[in-house]
Structure 1
Amino acid sequence: MSASPASQRASGLLFATLGALGFSFKAIFIKAAYAYGPDAETLLALRMAYALPFFIVMGVVVERREPCVFTLRDRWMLLVLGLTGYYAASYLDFLGLQHISAALERLILFLYPTMVLLLSAVFLKKPITRRMLLPLAICYVGIAVAVGHDLHFGGRNVALGGVLVFASALSYAIYLMLSGEVVKRLGSTRVTAWATGAACLLSLAQFFVLRPVSNLVQPWQVHALSMAMAVFSTVLPIWMVAEAMRRIGAGPTSMVGTLGPVLTILLAALFLGEPLTVFQVAGAALVIFGVSRIK
Structure 2
Amino acid sequence: MQTTKNFWSGIAIGVLGIVLFSSKAVMVKLAYNYDVDAISILLLRMLFSFPFYVVIAILYRNKNTEIAIKNTDYIWLFFFGFVGYYLASYFDFVGLTYIKASLERIILFLYPTIVILLNRIFLKQPISKTQAIAIGLTYLGIILAFSAEVNITGVSAYLGGFFILLSAITYASYLVGSGWLIPKFGVVKFTTYAMLISCFCVFVHYGFIGEMDLFNFTWEVYVLGLLIAVFATVIPSFLVSLSIKMISSSNFAIVAGIGPISTIILASIFLGEFLTFLQLFGALIVIFGIVFMSVKSSKNK
TM over 0.5: yes
Partner of 2:156: 157
Partner of 1:132: 131
**Aligned equivalents of 1:9 and 1:126: distance in 2?**
31
Which range moved further: 58-67 or 164-173?
Answer: 58-67
2:92–2:164 contact (8 Å) kept in structure 1: yes
**Aligned equivalents of 1:5 and 1:42: distance in 2?**
45
2:69–2:184 contact (8 Å) kept in structure 1: no
2:106–2:286 contact (8 Å) kept in structure 1: yes
2:38–2:93 contact (8 Å) kept in structure 1: yes
Which runs of structure 2 are paired with 1:74-93 in the superposition (5 Å)? 74-93=73-92
Q: Which amino acid aligns with 2:131?
A: M
> Structure 1: which 5+ residue stretches go unaligned?
none
Structure 1 residues 185 and 70 mapped into 2: Cα distance closer, same or farther (>3 Å)?
closer
SS in 1 for 2:181: helix
Partner of 2:299: none
Q: Which amino acid aligns with 1:128?
A: I
- Residue 51 of structure 2, aligned match among 53, 68, 76: 53
Structure 1 residues 212 and 273 mapped into 2: Cα distance closer, same or farther (>3 Å)?
closer
Partner of 1:63: 61
TM-superposed deviation, 1:184? 1.9
TM-superposed deviation, 1:90? 0.3
Partner of 2:21: 23
Q: Which amino acid aligns with 2:239?
A: M
**Aligned equivalents of 2:39 and 2:264: distance in 1?**
25
Partner of 2:232: 233
2:30–2:271 contact (8 Å) kept in structure 1: yes
**Taking every aligned residue pair, what percent have the same amino acid on both sides?**
36
**Aligned equivalents of 2:53 and 2:80: distance in 1?**
15
Partner of 1:7: 5
Structure 1 residues 213 and 287 mapped into 2: Cα distance closer, same or farther (>3 Å)?
closer
**Aligned equivalents of 1:23 and 1:115: distance in 2?**
20
1:93–1:168 contact (8 Å) kept in structure 2: yes
TM-superposed deviation, 1:108? 0.4
**Aligned equivalents of 1:158 and 1:212: distance in 2?**
25
**Aligned equivalents of 1:203 and 1:294: distance in 2?**
35
Partner of 1:43: 41
Q: Which amino acid aligns with 2:17?
A: G
TM-superposed deviation, 1:40? 0.8
1:42–1:216 contact (8 Å) kept in structure 2: no
Q: Which runs of 4+ in 1 moved over 6 A?
A: none
**Aligned equivalents of 2:125 and 2:30: distance in 1?**
41
**Aligned equivalents of 2:212 and 2:274: distance in 1?**
37
Task: Give me the TM-score of the superposition, normalised by structure 2.
Answer: 0.93
Q: Which amino acid aligns with 1:176?
A: L
Task: Give me the TM-score of the superposition, normalised by structure 1.
Answer: 0.95
**Aligned equivalents of 1:139 and 1:82: distance in 2?**
27
TM-superposed deviation, 1:64? 3.1
TM-superposed deviation, 1:10? 2.5
**Aligned equivalents of 2:125 and 2:45: distance in 1?**
36
Describe the superposition over 1:201-235 as per-residue Cα deviations: whole angstroms up to 9, x where unpaired: 10011001112572442111101101100111111
Partner of 1:180: 179
> Structure 2: which 5+ residue stretches go unaligned?
295-301
Structure 1 residues 153 and 13 mapped into 2: Cα distance closer, same or farther (>3 Å)?
same
1:144–1:283 contact (8 Å) kept in structure 2: yes
SS in 2 for 1:189: helix
Partner of 1:294: 293
Structure 1 residues 242 and 41 mapped into 2: Cα distance closer, same or farther (>3 Å)?
same
Which range moved further: 5-14 or 159-168?
Answer: 5-14
CA RMSD across the alignment: 1.5
